Amino acid sequence: MKSIVRSVLAALSVLLSACSPKSGISGFWKDADVAAVMSDFDGAKERFTEFAELTLNAPAEEAEKALDVLFDRLAADEVAYYVYEEWCEGAFYNIFSPYRNAGLFEHIAARIEDDGIMADDIERIRLLRRYNSLNLKGQPISLPEDLTRPDGEPVEFPGGEEITVLVLNPSCRSCAAALKALAGTPGRHIAICFGSREVPSVPGWEYCFSAGIRRFFDTEAAPFWLAADADGTVTVPCSPVE
């Protein structure tokens, strides 16, 4: 009788393992026809979105293994490779994505460099990797060292106070709304501007500029913000203004 019970429990264990999210994501791309992206684009995008949703609760190691399986299969189809890379970038790198995951994007970007298929885009990928690695929650805040006020005077950060940083292009219609939306955050308020238009007249902000802003921030995503505590530790990573 005990042997029968053990057999049943063993079978149940295998069944539960096969149905678990961990198993589901690790084998997600095993039998996928990634080359079908051109014949069934919407279906392929829907399947990728399903995968992205699974990563929200999956162990990082399992998600990375699944991504490796995906890129192993994509290596045989350059067109599909470019399509899925764009989807991965939009899902795991874009700050507006609900699936944003700095660790997974770093894994993907490293894989892209190793594969060498997107040779023409390597410098762009490397720049995204840099953006992706800076100002994560718990890290020391990283800002351009050449920040200056509109009058050319340098901006100093003596420390010892909370700080809210907003990156924006004054030419963007939403910049004034973003400044007002963050007005109630604690501490010092710094708006790092880029572009040629004059800064908006929203009180409570210190406006500044940096020639080297694109070494620290992906300006294509602006406006976005981040925050740090009095010790200079990031408490809010680069995030959309809500």
pLDDT band at 176 (very low <50, low <70, confident <90, very high): confident
Indicate the average pLDDT of the chain: 88
- Beta strands 234-240 and 224-228 are antiparallel
pLDDT band at 201 (very low <50, low <70, confident <90, very high): confident
pLDDT in tens, 73-109: 999 999 999 999 999 999 999 999 999 999 999 999 9
pLDDT at position 88 is: 98
Asked whether the predicted pLDDT for residue 7 surpasses 50, the reply is: no
Asked whether the predicted pLDDT for residue 22 surpasses 80, the reply is: no
pLDDT-wise least confident of 33-42, 51-60, 172-181, 193-202: 193-202
pLDDT at position 18 is: 36
pLDDT in tens, 102-128: 999 999 999 999 999 999 999 999 999
Asked whether the predicted pLDDT for residue 16 surpasses 60, the reply is: no
Sequential DSSP letters for 130-187: HHHHSS-TTSBP---TT-B-TTSPBP----SS-EEEEEE-TTSTTHHHHHHHTTTSSS
Span 204-224, average pLDDT: 93
pLDDT in tens, 147-161: 999 889 999 887 899
Please tell me the distance from the alpha carbon of residue 222 to that of residue 39, in angstroms, as a whole number: 35
pLDDT at position 171 is: 83
16 Cβ contact partners less than 8 Å away, ≥ 6 residues apart: none
pLDDT at position 172 is: 82
